[in-house]
Structure 1
């Protein structure tokens, strides 16, 4: 397996003590496991408890102005493109397969919108 297979990139969106939201690039560690024998080994992170999982579909042109997240959630894009602006002004675009851990549940929050004329489908773990 590839030498860098023991790492997984995750973006975190958090609030600082002044109430501003910021992005932070983090690396989750994964290790090789026999998860589903007789299938070949694969890489897995440490388990994280999830209480619920939902799918969200944002229609083409959807826009949510600055708002804090309603709860801590992990969002993984399945289709479309999502642009997120932290309250500090940094803007990032997320594409299918990318994950963001949304933890800015207080403060000014973030703004989000579907871009590129596409609807956005996400799986959200709460």
Structure 2
């Protein structure tokens, strides 16, 4: 499994890191053949966020309000980190936002149907 980590380095600059996590063949539920399972990863709750009708204005640079997982459900969004690197994410993208201090990042919806689930840690 692969996810993208957004974090603040020792100078407070946000950056991307591609993380590969090895899955282990595991019987998750009786009657289902073994699946590759990664984790468990801690999460305290789930929030589903949808872009309001008519879109949203340009988002400002911000830090993550807390360390959290984010899964894009619909639409597309871009994230830009301190060095100007910009990546686009669509449905199924898994991100770990850990830049709770420093310069932060800029998120920008690219489509009117953006929705995502956030799992605070």
Determine if the TM-score, normalized by the shorter chain, exceeds 0.5: yes
Q: Shift of the alpha carbon at 1:21?
A: 0.3
Counterpart secondary structure, 2:42: coil
Structure number having the greater strand percentage: 1
Q: 1:80 aligns with which of 75, 84, 97?
A: 75
Q: 1:122 aligns with which of 105, 116, 119?
A: 116
Give the length in aligned residue pairs: 118
- List gaps (5 residues or longer) in structure 1: 1-7
Map of 1:28 onto structure 2: 21
Q: Is the 8 A contact 1:13 1:103 kept in 2?
A: yes
Q: Shift of the alpha carbon at 1:45?
A: 0.9
Q: 4+ runs of 1 displaced by more than 6 Å? A: none
- After TM superposition, the score normalised by the length of structure 1 is 0.88
CA RMSD of aligned residues (A): 1.2
Distance in 2, matches of 1:13 and 1:111, equals 11
1:40-86 C-alpha deviation (Å, 9 max, x unpaired):
21111121221111111124543321111110010010110011111
Superposition pairs of residues 30-45 of structure 1, within 5 angstroms? 30-45=23-38
